[in-house]
């Protein structure tokens, strides 16, 4: 017999349906869209297309639709890919779902102190990342390392310098093969782990100051077999700000000396609020344009990305060919196999009111992740875009 349960998450809750074995079998898609402020996806049919298993499971609340756990996770990940503003909320939402599914027994099944897997936790500028010793090999959590710098390990792994470095480690016998250098785990709590020999090079790509700190820790680890967690809180323009650090609090304004001064202060505050509202209203069209053209899009053409960068489509296609992302075959641009995940087939639909028929087209375009990768690659070679 299944049962429904409310799980606190973000500012509200997410309803799930547990099976007779106590596992989470279904998740309320309405709550997922509400948590990420994407309720229109329920009305326009996007949620149904993304979650084919969606159905009414709670007869007392027929408007609430539930989908399988795996489809719900994939749906949240899809919503997060389209907006940087949703990534942190989506990550917290996915972690909550994963914890609710695992249960206490699964969470405590593996101990960090076991001889097979030893976890070392380091901290840099208020951000923690993990290093683990498994089967005599040190691996570092690259996903946690890159998070405060707003970068992704997948981008670094596709750089030509990184590919040459990894091949050199195999050729000189440091690594047995390329596969052993990287361990990737999927799911809400997934991460990319790098072999210790790639640690400082990856840190240098994130920040030179961070690379120097990692080099110091690596020497300490080699000398003593352990690394001290204490963090000197390095300063400088390249130091990542602490995620949970308290913001600077302004000194409170002095109290008005008289009733007239209080009225003048209130009037000044009202003027400030009015000017801020006018500024927001006058720039609202910019947000709407960005939301329609970038944030809510599922695919991008090369011309769209070229216009965003400020070059022609021919120049961008030639640049991607020089970088080894694509090649010219029979007059058409073909993406190299290792970058194929950056493009996808998308179904474009539009309803013809005259014929009362829905037309569908397949479009092979860049995904949001592909757009981000191309722009980051362009900025790395040609400098950062002023519009970013």
How much is the pLDDT for 21? 73
Q: Hey, where are the domains in the chain?
A: 3-107, 117-224, 290-382
Q: How confident is the model at residue 255 (pLDDT cuts 50, 70, 90)?
A: low
Mean of per-residue pLDDT scores for the chain = 76
How much is the pLDDT for 256? 62
What are the pLDDT digits (tens) for 360-379? 777 788 888 888 899 889 88
How much is the pLDDT for 110? 36
- Are the beta carbons of 81 and 367 closer than 8 angstroms? yes
User: What radius of gyration do the chain's Cα atoms show?
Assistant: 25
Q: CA torsion sign, 132 to 136 to 137 to 138?
A: positive
For the whole model, what pTM was predicted? 0.33
Q: How confident is the model at residue 326 (pLDDT cuts 50, 70, 90)?
A: very high
The string of DSSP codes covering 245-288 is PPPPPPPPPPPPSSHHHHHHHHHHHHHHHHHHHHHHHHTHHHHH
What are the pLDDT digits (tens) for 51-100? 988 888 888 888 889 998 888 888 888 888 766 667 778 888 888 887 77
CA distances for 109 relative to 69, 112, 130, 151, 286, angstroms: 21, 10, 19, 32, 50
- Are the beta carbons of 300 and 368 closer than 8 angstroms? yes
Cα-Cα-Cα-Cα dihedral of 162, 379, 128, 120, to 10°?
0
How much is the pLDDT for 239? 45
Q: How confident is the model at residue 293 (pLDDT cuts 50, 70, 90)?
A: low
Give yes or no for residue 380 having a pLDDT over 60: yes
User: Quick one: what percent of the chain has pLDDT higher than 90?
Assistant: 7
How far is Cα of residue 370 from the mean position of the Cα atoms in its chain? 13
What is d(CA 304, CA 294) in angstroms, rounded to the nearest whole number?
10
What is d(CA 101, CA 19) in angstroms, rounded to the nearest whole number?
11
Give yes or no for residue 111 having a pLDDT over 60: no
How much is the pLDDT for 317? 92
- Are the beta carbons of 381 and 309 closer than 8 angstroms? no
For the chain, the first-to-last Cα distance in angstroms comes to 52
- Are the beta carbons of 21 and 32 closer than 8 angstroms? no
């Amino acid at each position: 017999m299944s049962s429904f349960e409310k799980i606190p998450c973000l500012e509200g809750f997410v309803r799930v349906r547990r099976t007779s074995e106590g596992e989470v079998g279904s998740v309320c898609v309405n709550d997922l869209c509400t948590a990420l402020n994407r309720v229109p996806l329920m009305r326009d049919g996007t949620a149904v297309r993304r979650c084919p298993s969606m159905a009414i499971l709670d007869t007392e609340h027929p408007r609430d639709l539930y989908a399988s756990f795996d489809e719900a996770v994939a749906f949240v990940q899809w919503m997060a890919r389209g907006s940087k503003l949703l990534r942190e909320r989506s990550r917290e939402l996915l972690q909550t779902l994963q914890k609710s599914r695992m249960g206490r027994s699964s969470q405590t099944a593996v101990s960090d102190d076991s001889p097979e897997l030893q976890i070392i936790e380091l901290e840099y500028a208020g951000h923690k990342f993990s290093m683990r010793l498994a089967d005599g090999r040190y691996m570092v959590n690259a996903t946690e390392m890159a998070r405060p710098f707003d970068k992704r390990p997948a981008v670094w792994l596709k750089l030509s310098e990184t590919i040459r470095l990894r091949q050199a480690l195999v050729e000189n016998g440091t690594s047995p093969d390329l596969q052993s250098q990287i361990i990737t785990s999927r799911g809400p709590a997934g991460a990319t782990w790098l072999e210790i020999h790639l640690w400082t090079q990856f840190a240098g790509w994130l920040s030179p100051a961070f690379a120097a700190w990692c080099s110091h820790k690596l020497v300490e680890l080699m000398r003593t077999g352990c690394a001290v967690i204490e963090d000197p809180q390095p300063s400088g323009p390249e130091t990542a700000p602490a995620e949970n650090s308290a913001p600077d609090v302004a000194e409170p304004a002095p109290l008005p000396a008289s009733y007239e001064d209080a009225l003048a202060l209130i009037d000044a505050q009202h003027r400030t609020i009015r000017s801020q509202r006018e500024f927001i209203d006058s720039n609202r069209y910019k947000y709407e344009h960005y939301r329609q053209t970038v944030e809510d899009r599922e695919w991008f053409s090369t011309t769209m990305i070229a216009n965003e960068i400020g070059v022609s489509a021919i120049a961008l296609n030639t640049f991607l060919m020089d970088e080894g992302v694509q090649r010219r075959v029979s007059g058409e641009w073909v993406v190299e196999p290792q970058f194929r995940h950056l493009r996808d087939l998308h179904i474009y639909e539009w309803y013809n009111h005259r014929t009362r028929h829905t037309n569908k087209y397949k479009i092979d375009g860049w995904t949001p992740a592909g757009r981000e990768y191309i722009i980051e690659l362009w900025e790395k070679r040609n400098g950062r875009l002023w519009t970013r």
